[in-house]
Structure 1
Amino acid sequence: MLDQALLLDDAGRPFTQNGPTFSEDWDQVAAFCRQVYMPFRVQPAAPRTAPAATMRLAQIGRITLTRFAYGVPVHLDRFDPDAGNILVLNTLRGTLRHQQDGGQHVSTAAGDSFVVDCSRTDYWLDADASHMQLNLTIPHDVVENIATRWLGGRPDPQLWTQRVAFGGTGSRWHTLLAYAVRSIQADGSLLLGTNAAAHLEEMLCVELLQAWSERAGLPLRAATAAAPHYVCRAEQIMAAEAAQPPTIGAIAERVGVSTRALSDGFRRTRGMTPQQFLRQRRLEGFHRALQQARPGDTITTVAADWGFVNLGALAKRYYEHFGQLPSRTLAQRRHN
């Protein structure tokens, strides 16, 4: 159903696009990816291999659709969370291997889809030489706002951290995606005019939320209220001072509530305790410090800067979260 997506429209006319649709230049491919996805790192499986990249795009409201492939095997990681984007990777052919929790991974083949919120969790993927993708890039705020309108409150915050495979040929998602693609004409406009963009955007986001929540085991009916100001302020403090964090009691005092009220606020609106939130920020900070390590830095010295003493426990938690040991991250930094 999607084989000709962004190649021919529903009337059989070839899609037109400003800019290149194929490239063998890494810099040109990187510029395209920054534009439609976000900054991230690309490592070809074989050094000094030129890409044979397909680069096609279309727009449905605030959703960017891309028909994309590198044309060579690659490993992608270090997706920039500040871009604020959710990726939905729909495999047309070939195979992708995606990061999941606990050092696990899952593969997607033709007809399968995978969703990850790169603004809320780390992510890596491996793509084989024959991969071809029809991807969606959706700002997190767009999906969250649509969820709020439909549910009367925000979804369980844990949903955004879940990396899940879903869909499949014949699924509701696959059928809706095919309908959306058929609605785009050869010049990039929508068959039913500009008013159709908002409706298609909402349909895609709602179906994505349904499929995502079902696979994550987090029912959408479990909506949560907006976080109170003291939870948001506590998050800012913990993010800014993660290397040498104050106690949760001290944080509660600084934001003007009791420790119990702060914990209740986090559980109700974030689905986790303040301690869990702080542990995640510290682990992510340690990860970034390894990626930015200076010559002569070691695991021990970087861990000490972040107040970690038990290196064995740290390595275990790090592997569960990032899918590799701290030593591997440091070795990649030195290699680069």
Structure 2
Amino acid sequence: MLDQALVADAAGRPIRQPGRTASRDWDEVQDFCSRVYMPYRVRPLGHNLDPDATMRQARVGGVIVTRFAYGVPIHLDTFDPAAGNILVLNTLAGALRHKLDRSAAAVTGPGDSFVVDCSRTDYWLDGDGDHLQLNLTIPHDLIAGVAHRWFGFVPDDRLWTRRLAFGGQGSRWQALLSYVARSIGADGRCAGAMERHLEELICVDLLDAWAAGAGLRLADGARAAAPRYVREAEAILESEAREAPTIGAVAARVGVSARTLSNGFQRFRGISPRAFLRDRRLEGVRADLERAAPGETVTSVATGWGFANLGAMAGAYRQRFGEPPSATLARGHRRG
């Protein structure tokens, strides 16, 4: 099902790439990997080995999808936690051996997947010379936001530090990967609202499989688990996001100090109240850009949602949705 993933679209048209799709130069290959995954250390498992790399990429919202192989046996370690990324390594051919815990490793072959949050735990892997991957790079903050929207809370490190092998031939996850791959067009993107739908679907399905493998029930962490003041503050921040109320003012309205409110959000939601508000405002900006009337601009929409620093807003928007706000606006104008 994934033989042509990122090579050709569902109609058989070649999928355009922003750069080279193959390389035998270590520096070029590592530059690609640093951009689409994160900085890390690679060591070939042999003497005088040059790569014969496959390097293809596409975006599904904030998720980077890659078709990748080194073409030689390798060992990878020292993944940079500051990049803030989760890796989902889906094996198409060959095999990978992954760090599972201090004394155990997991081997994945064709059809198998492995997830690790490199922003929360260390990791290494060995790949044989025949490995070929269809990998996903997902920002931790993106999937944490999806968890909050769907389940009412952000899981703690019992989930994020769990390295997990999952999937398998015929699994729901494999079917989803096939659906995602077939939804990517010749331009390397998904059409319109489909992109957001797929981004959400990837994150929710991954969270479900990850939590099941970690022995956690996401439904048990529902909103009711948080204290009253956190739930009330969320309701205020959601309903008044456009006015961008101060955290101190919200804290006073729910009867606690700003420090208590911030500590409550961090404990029960895994994010700060300010980050929660920022995410709601970014979602509002995106919704308005998608239905913008002729003559509306990114500036007019963003300032209407309380953003004063448009450069910072644009950077956060691109990180959250995988495209600049101008691209969303252009798509909205075309539909209008």
**TM bucket normalised to smaller:** 0.5 to 0.7
Per-residue CA deviations over 1:79-121 (Å, capped at 9, x if unaligned) read: 0000000000000000000001132100000000000000000
The corresponding residue for 2:111 is 111
Q: CA deviation at 1:157?
A: 2.8
8 A contact 1:155–1:222 mirrored in 2: no
Equivalent residue pairs, number: 236
The corresponding residue for 1:74 is 74
Q: How many Å separate the matches in 2 of 1:118 and 1:134?
A: 18
Q: How many Å separate the matches in 2 of 1:183 and 1:162?
A: 30
Per-residue CA deviations over 1:174-201 (Å, capped at 9, x if unaligned) read: 11111011001122132xx221111110
Per-residue CA deviations over 1:188-221 (Å, capped at 9, x if unaligned) read: 132xx22111111000000000011111111112
User: Counterpart of 2:55 in 1: which secondary structure?
Assistant: strand
1:133 aligns with 2:142: no
8 A contact 1:87–1:118 mirrored in 2: yes
Change (3 A) 1:266 1:138: closer
Q: How many Å separate the matches in 1 of 2:98 and 2:209?
A: 17
Q: How many Å separate the matches in 2 of 1:41 and 1:217?
A: 31
The corresponding residue for 1:200 is 198
Q: How many Å separate the matches in 2 of 1:225 and 1:69?
A: 44
Runs of 4+ in 1 over 6 A off after TM superposition: 264-270
User: Counterpart of 1:221 in 2: which secondary structure?
Assistant: helix
Q: How many Å separate the matches in 2 of 1:266 and 1:61?
A: 26
User: Counterpart of 2:218 in 1: which secondary structure?
Assistant: coil
Q: How many Å separate the matches in 1 of 2:95 and 2:211?
A: 24
1:44 aligns with 2:41: no
User: Counterpart of 1:27 in 2: which secondary structure?
Assistant: helix
1:210 aligns with 2:200: no
Q: CA deviation at 1:54?
A: 0.2
Q: CA deviation at 1:75?
A: 0.3
User: Counterpart of 1:13 in 2: which secondary structure?
Assistant: coil
Show the 5 A alignment for 1:1-336: 1-190=1-190, 193-223=191-221, 225=226
Q: How many Å separate the matches in 2 of 1:26 and 1:102?
A: 30
- What do you get for the CA RMSD once the two structures are aligned? 2.4
Which sits farther off after the overlay, 146-155 or 135-144? 146-155
Q: How many Å separate the matches in 1 of 2:81 and 2:178?
A: 29
TM-score by length of 2: 0.66
8 A contact 1:156–1:218 mirrored in 2: no
User: Amino acid of the residue matched to residue 185 of structure 1?
Assistant: G
Per-residue CA deviations over 1:56-83 (Å, capped at 9, x if unaligned) read: 0000000000000000000000000000
Per-residue CA deviations over 1:302-327 (Å, capped at 9, x if unaligned) read: xxxxxxxxxxxxxxxxxxxxxxxxxx
User: Amino acid of the residue matched to residue 173 of structure 1?
Assistant: W
Q: How many Å separate the matches in 2 of 1:189 and 1:75?
A: 31
Identity over aligned pairs, percent: 57
8 A contact 2:158–2:214 mirrored in 1: no
Q: How many Å separate the matches in 2 of 1:35 and 1:100?
A: 25
User: Counterpart of 1:143 in 2: which secondary structure?
Assistant: helix
Q: How many Å separate the matches in 1 of 2:119 and 2:265?
A: 22
8 A contact 1:90–1:133 mirrored in 2: yes
User: Counterpart of 1:14 in 2: which secondary structure?
Assistant: coil
Q: How many Å separate the matches in 2 of 1:11 and 1:88?
A: 26
Structure 2 unpaired stretches of 5+: 230-258, 271-336
TM-score by length of 1: 0.66
